[in-house]
Amino acid sequence: MKTDRNAKTTNMQVPTPSNVRISVKDFGPIAKGSIDLRPLTIFVGPSNTGKTYFATLIYALHLMLDGFQRLPVVFAYRDHFEPGFLRDETLATNIGLRKEELQETLKKLETVGRAFRFLDLPRGVRDAVRSVLKNPEVLGACIGTEFERCFDLKSLSDLVRLSCESGGTQLSLDVSEEKQSLWHFDMELSASGITTSGEIEDIILFPEEWLTSTLGHHREFHRFSALVKERMELDSSLERGHLFEFFDRLLYAANFANEQDDMHYLPANRSGIMQSHRLIASSLVARSTRTGQGHPREFPTLPGVTADFMEQLILFTEERERDELIKTIADTLEREVLDGQILINRASAGGYPEFVYQPRKTNEIIRLTRVSSMVSELAPVVLFLRAVINRGDMLIIEEPEAHLHPAAQTEMAKTLGRLVRAGVRVVVTTHSDWLLKEIGNLVREGELKDKTGQPDRENLLPSSLQPSDVGVWQFRKDGTSKGATVEEIPYDRIEGVEPEEYEYVSEALYNRSADLQNQLAETAGGTKYKHE
């Protein structure tokens, strides 16, 4: 559900996110893997195994599909299909809608005691919606363009692993709601181009209770349908544009209740960007004119996730009205970890916001270039929570534990739990055992709360989680050149969500320590240590 960003949303309804499963084969460094997006999705594993690749893939797909909605309509492709896909001539020419079909659709919508299903749409409209999935020149081409931007590719072929046996990269996306499949999309990328396929199930577009609703967008839709019927009674003809507008609004209304909100990506290099974004922005503006003497003809490019992050910093504003719960989470992170505030200095030259740090109980203002790495690392997290993120949004954070003391890492885990409880879908990549251990504790706390009926210890900012809230996915190399694989680590009440490799590293460190201690003991005649 889209939110009014100028309105307080403390008690706003949080949309129920669709269930999303994404599978890839021979995708960058990943040989094969599938993940299910949970309220909190965690990627763990050694470097260079594809965690960032998969996170970027989620970001690109979410942008192109405007969230993982109940119908894969192309509202996100406003540059290509404005103002709606049924009014784009490339898709609408062969629909061949008739007034009789519109009358039949209105009749089904107004029938008391029945839901309105996808198969209740005229065949031409169903085919137009399906063509979004099946025509590689529609969604496939748009995804290809977004992949090149987000992954900073010169060519889509750069995504195909050189050692892959299939000759191409395969991607599938399945969207479901509870136990009902909604739609799926498959894409294969090879040297010959992009091929796409997919299907939309006969899903319920409008439950019976929706059709009697008089709230929000549904009220506007019913008003428009009344105007259509009035026009039909006065004039036997109905312009083609009215037909397209009717079904365009109908499909938008079907997605409206579960529409996902914005996507935000905080990259791993955010600390350096925070310290230098004003310098980078000034440099880009100075070099954005046509090439002249002393100016290079080509500019280096950035991955789309980094460029989007920088753009949000350059255009950063704090609105007066904010979701009070998300803002409180940000304030708590500042107080308990930063021990100070992140402020915005707008009096700086160039008009770009400068972010500064004010330690608690002082009037001292410190530029981020002079603060600790912990402060500059957490500054963008605080700023995005305070002024950008709303409930229903998706947030991807790479290595939220970076530059944090172990105690601060556990506080960051609680922040993630609070965001999930507030209705933000979170994806993180991490190497932190401390972070994972505390997330395991948050799940145990949620289980204990359910069994005992005790309320959350933090009534205002609950952070406890349920096992179903968390999905941990292990990226690992298989010891060959075939690439990395992705497997889920199931939650264990005893072990939590700790990867086996962490235990192996810990055991190896202990054994090495015991060996060295034994050697020292032998030289001094002391007590030997036992190996595990």
Q: Give pLDDT, residue 347.
A: 60
Q: Give φ, ψ of 358 to 5 degrees.
A: -120, 110
Q: Give pLDDT, residue 224.
A: 60
Q: How many residues does the chain have?
A: 532
Q: Give pLDDT, residue 307.
A: 87
Distance CA 135, CA 141 (A): 9
End-to-end CA distance of the chain: 54
Single-letter code of the amino acid located at 411: E
Contact 86, 244 (CB under 8 A): yes
CA distances from 488 to 38, 169, 405, 497, 498 (A): 12, 22, 27, 10, 11
Sign of the alpha-carbon torsion through 62, 66, 67, 69: negative
Which are the contacts of 66, defined by CB distance < 8 A and separation ≥ 6?
A: 75, 76, 259, 260
Distance CA 309, CA 263 (A): 11
Distance CA 410, CA 380 (A): 18
Q: Give pLDDT, residue 332.
A: 94
Q: Residue 75, exposed/middle/buried by CB under 10 A (0-12, 13-18, 19+)?
A: buried
Q: pLDDT tens for residues 223-261?
A: 666 766 666 665 555 555 556 667 777 777 777 655 457
Q: Give pLDDT, residue 132.
A: 76
Q: Give pLDDT, residue 85.
A: 39
Taking the mean position of all CA atoms in its chain, how far away is CA 192? 30
Contact 402, 271 (CB under 8 A): yes
Q: Give pLDDT, residue 350.
A: 57
Please, what's the largest Cα pairwise distance for the chain? Answer: 106
Contact 188, 170 (CB under 8 A): yes
Q: 255-290 burial by CB neighbour count: b if 16+ within 10 A, else e?
A: bbbbbbbbbbbbbbebbebbbebbebbeeeeeeeee
Distance CA 342, CA 355 (A): 7
H helix runs in 165-269, sequence order: 208-211, 216-234, 240-256
Q: How, if at all, do strands 366-367 and 263-266 pair?
A: unpaired
Beta strands in 229-339 (DSSP E): 263-266
Three-point CA angle 8, 12, 16, nearest 5°: 145
Centre a 10 Å sphere on the Cβ of residue 482 and count the other Cβ atoms it contains. Answer: 15
Tokens found for residue 65:
């599909």
Task: Enter the pTM of the model.
Answer: 0.85
Q: What is the pLDDT along the chain (532 residues), one digit of tens a residue?
A: 333 333 333 334 445 668 999 999 999 889 999 999 999 999 999 988 999 999 999 999 998 887 888 887 654 443 333 334 344 444 444 456 676 777 788 788 777 778 889 998 888 888 878 877 877 777 777 888 888 899 988 887 777 765 466 668 899 999 998 778 999 999 988 777 788 889 999 988 877 766 665 555 556 566 666 766 666 665 555 555 556 667 777 777 777 655 457 899 999 988 877 767 666 665 555 544 444 444 445 556 778 898 889 888 888 887 667 788 999 999 999 999 999 999 987 665 556 778 899 998 888 999 888 888 899 999 999 999 998 998 889 999 999 999 999 999 999 999 999 999 999 999 999 999 999 999 999 999 998 888 887 776 666 789 999 999 999 999 998 776 678 999 999 887 767 777 777 777 878 888 888 888 888 888 876 665 565 6
Contact 416, 40 (CB under 8 A): yes
H helix runs in 453-526, sequence order: 500-524
Distance CA 209, CA 221 (A): 15
Q: Residue 24, exposed/middle/buried by CB under 10 A (0-12, 13-18, 19+)?
A: buried
Q: Give φ, ψ of 195 to 5 degrees.
A: -120, 140
Single-letter code of the amino acid located at 401: E
Distance CA 344, CA 383 (A): 10
Distance CA 427, CA 412 (A): 13
CA distances from 347 to 111, 157, 286, 320 (A): 61, 46, 20, 19
Which are the contacts of 201, defined by CB distance < 8 A and separation ≥ 6?
A: 118, 180, 181, 182, 183
Distance CA 8, CA 5 (A): 8
